[in-house]
């Protein structure tokens, strides 16, 4: 009996949020003293009407994730999902998808490559590990990922990480354009067309094209040999 009483009085997430908010309000009011402007600023930012847009989006995502997790935790919902996955409609849909020509073409293409076989094994293992009993956890995980994406894209304190990620994303493109393509491919051709100057860099473009043609011919010959062997 004592264990059930302890479990029933265990505080949840919303309880801790309410307690933390009340503690924050009292601490700020008592520590600010007689500074009315500080108290006014606090209540100004405490009012949801003055919050930034991503605050509301994150609150909706958190409430949606909590509601979805609670719905998926229900035994009747899980029983309904079990019955749906064991129904004839679901089995016929899976059978049609397996026998469809696009799906068979993709599987045939993947099975002819080592990386494709490894990827297919990982994909099948992933779907085997997904169980209906874990759906509430997946709902929470999806909600937290969505909240993190919103925070990362719109929060002011995430400006520096956003800049670093954008720099890392654009650096390879600019490196190839300004450090490889322009000085070794485009620049010599422009100089030759304008002044007729011939340098060793002028031969890089045709040499690269020749190597690319040889590489493509080699791939084509290997694929022909594999087809003949099969």
**Tens digits of residue pLDDT in 193-218:** 888 778 888 888 888 889 989 988 88
Domain boundaries, given as residue ranges, for the chain: 1-50, 158-230
Q: Report the C-alpha gap between 88 and 99 in whole angstroms.
A: 16
Asked whether the whole model's pTM tops 0.95, one would answer no
Q: What is the mean pLDDT of the chain?
A: 81
> Which pLDDT does position 13 carry in this prediction?
64
Residue 86, φ and ψ in degrees, nearest 5 = -95, 5
State which H helix or E strand residue 132 sits in.
none
Sequence-separated (6 or more) residues with CB below 8 Å from residue 81: 132, 135
Residues in the chain: 230
**What is the per-residue pLDDT across 125-179, written as a single tens digit (0 to 9) for each?**
888 888 888 899 999 899 999 989 988 888 878 888 889 988 888 888 888 888 8
79, burial (CB in 10 Å: exposed 0-12, middle 13-18, buried 19+): exposed
């Amino acid at each position: 009996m004592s264990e059930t009483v302890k479990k029933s009085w265990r505080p949840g997430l919303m309880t801790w949020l309410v307690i933390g908010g009340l503690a924050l309000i009292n601490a700020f009011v008592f520590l600010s003293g007689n500074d009315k402007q500080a108290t006014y600023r606090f209540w100004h930012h405490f009012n949801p009407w003055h919050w930034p847009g991503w605050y509301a989006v994150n609150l909706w995502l958190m409430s949606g994730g909590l509601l979805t997790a609670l719905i998926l935790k229900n035994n009747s919902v899980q029983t309904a999902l079990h019955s749906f996955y064991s129904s004839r409609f679901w089995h016929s849909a899976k059978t049609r998808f397996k026998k469809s020509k696009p799906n068979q073409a993709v599987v045939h293409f993947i099975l002819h490559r080592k990386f494709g076989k490894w990827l297919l094994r990982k994909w099948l293992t992933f779907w085997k590990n997904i169980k209906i009993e874990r759906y509430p956890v997946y709902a929470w995980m999806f909600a937290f990922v969505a909240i993190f994406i919103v925070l990362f894209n719109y929060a002011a304190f995430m400006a520096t990480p956003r800049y670093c990620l954008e720099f890392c994303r654009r650096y390879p493109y600019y490196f190839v354009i300004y450090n490889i393509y322009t000085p070794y491919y485009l620049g010599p051709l422009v100089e030759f067309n304008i002044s007729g100057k011939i340098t060793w860099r002028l031969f890089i473009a045709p040499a690269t094209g020749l190597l690319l043609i040889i590489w493509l011919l080699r791939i084509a010959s290997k694929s022909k040999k594999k087809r003949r062997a099969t």
